[in-house]
Structure 1
């Protein structure tokens, strides 16, 4: 269980996140929605501890994440894998090595510096790439890939961290509709097939309604909605998005997750 209690982050006099409180059960797929500047990215960065809260607490399975330091903080960042809008890959390195970077918390530093990776880690990284149909790209430089391929590599890197939770910060913001669907299907498969909790910042309301089983709506740093997608009416959405409402309401819905993903979900549900 992830619990956020009164979480606040101030930059000078401005509160980027203001007294946010909610809890997330294991295995959930939660979308954090709201207009640009609502505080979504700052919230995820605080949960991962890339940004420090001004006040409040983050608890995970009873551990006070906000109090972690040193080795324990590094372990938490491995357990709460981040996926970024701009992929954060090392372009000059090949795809496999980029994925193996997700294992840095598990191996001695000399191995990563010398790029002497344990065979079991290499096998894990290749398996992760196969999950997203990009194992054939393992030897290619990351900067030679399309945006959608790079984001799938970033998701594979997150998966090999063997995390308890994945924090995805606008993971499809720079992608076209086809790659948006591929990446969102990949996150859904991780959630349903592996049971990993996903907390995903999304600007698109259609995407959030299609993929998430719960929505947390933010406005001006505050949590103003927390519930099932069906409970988010257009009236509430217009209040939530304000001047951006016309951009996120009434657009053509994204196609349902593809057959391969649906099959994986069925397998997971039957397990």
Structure 2
């Protein structure tokens, strides 16, 4: 169980996240919604400890995440994988090597620097690529891929870390509707087939309603809604988004969760 207890973050005189408390059950798919500047990205980055809280605590099981340092912090980041809007791939390297970077916590530093990956690591990486329909791109440079393909590579890299939690920060913000559905289906697939908890910042309410078990609405750094997607009525959404409500309630980009239900689990990718 991931628990946030009164977590806050200030940047100079601005409060980005303000006393957020929440619990996330294992295997849940949670959408974090709200207008730009609501604190969604800062919240995810605090969970991964890319940003340190200025107050409050983050706990996972009996571990106080806010106190982790050194090797323990590195291990936490491996178990709590981040997926970014900008993909964060190494463009000059091939797709398979980019995915294998997710195995760095499982190999010694010298072997990683020399790219001396084991057959098992390669099998795990290729299986992850196959799961998302891009195994045939393994030898291509990452910077030669489309945006949707790059984001699927980033998800495969996160999966081979063997995470307990995946944090996706606006993973579909720069994608067209078709690739948006493909990427959201990929996230839902790892959630349903491996039981990985997914926390996903989303701009579209229709996508959030279609894919997530639970929605958390943020405004000015605070949680102002926490409940099932069905409880997020249009009136509540208008209160949450104000003038942006029409933009984020665009049904043209919606995709039902059933799209991701038919994939089979590859044996080489760790659960």
TM range (shorter): over 0.9
* Aligned partner of residue 201 in structure 2, secondary structure: strand
Counterparts of 1:1-271 in structure 2, within 5 Å, are 1-249=1-249, 251-252=251-252, 254-257=254-257, 261-264=260-263
In 2, Cα distance between equivalents of 1:133 and 1:114: 28
In 2, Cα distance between equivalents of 1:77 and 1:145: 26
1:269 corresponds in structure 2 to none
In 1, Cα distance between equivalents of 2:251 and 2:212: 17
Scaled by the length of structure 1, what TM-score is found? 0.95
Scaled by the length of structure 2, what TM-score is found? 0.95
In 2, Cα distance between equivalents of 1:187 and 1:144: 23
User: How far 1:234 moved relative to its partner?
Assistant: 1.0
Unmatched 5+ stretches in structure 1 = 267-271
Q: Is the deviation greater in 114-123 or in 148-157? A: 114-123
Contact kept in structure 2, 1:192 and 1:265, CA below 8 Å: no
* Aligned partner of residue 263 in structure 1, secondary structure: coil
User: How far 1:263 moved relative to its partner?
Assistant: 2.2
Contact kept in structure 1, 2:207 and 2:255, CA below 8 Å: no
User: How far 1:112 moved relative to its partner?
Assistant: 1.3
Contact kept in structure 1, 2:128 and 2:160, CA below 8 Å: yes
Contact kept in structure 2, 1:39 and 1:218, CA below 8 Å: yes
Q: Check 1:257–1:22 CA distance in 2 against 1; reply closer, same or farther (3 A cut).
A: closer
CA offsets 1:41-68 (integer angstroms, 9 cap, x no match): 0000000000000000000012100000
> Root-mean-square deviation (CA), in Å?
1.3
Q: Check 1:139–1:164 CA distance in 2 against 1; reply closer, same or farther (3 A cut).
A: same
CA offsets 1:14-67 (integer angstroms, 9 cap, x no match): 100000000000000000000011000000000000000000000001210000
* Aligned partner of residue 87 in structure 2, secondary structure: coil
Unmatched 5+ stretches in structure 2 = 266-271
Report how many residues are paired: 265
* Aligned partner of residue 252 in structure 1, secondary structure: helix
CA offsets 1:136-166 (integer angstroms, 9 cap, x no match): 0000000000000000000000000000000
